[in-house]
Amino acid sequence: MPTNIILLIAALIVALFVFRALLNVAKTAISTAITIFVVIVILSVFGFTPQDLMEEIKNLPQIIERSITELRKLFGF
């Protein structure tokens, strides 16, 4: 009987940890979604569409590569 109680308490503690971890993941996902929404709304005020944002995100690796190349040329590397 005492081992069942100990096992039950351990299971409840593990369940609590799992629940708290899932709650933290949900909070992070919701805050990220809200942040993305706010950015899209602000961009739409300036006349940009979500498609424009996606195109820039797709082009980001090339933009970074060009910037690094220009910096290397500037500093002589």
Domain boundaries, the chain: 1-46, 48-77
Report whether pLDDT(1) > 70. Answer: no
pLDDT tens readout for residues 4-16: 899 999 999 999 9
Measured over all CA atoms, what is the biggest interatomic distance in the chain, rounded to whole angstroms? 76
For 26, the token pair is: 């949900």
Compute the average pLDDT of residues 6-34: 97
Compute the average pLDDT of residues 51-69: 94
Query: Sign of the C-alpha dihedral, residues 36, 38, 44, 48?
Result: negative
pTM of the model: 0.66
Whole-angstrom CA distances from 59 to 53, 54, 63, 70 are 10, 9, 6, 17
Report whether pLDDT(31) > 90. Answer: yes
CB 50 within 8 A of CB 40: yes
For 36, the token pair is: 């993305």
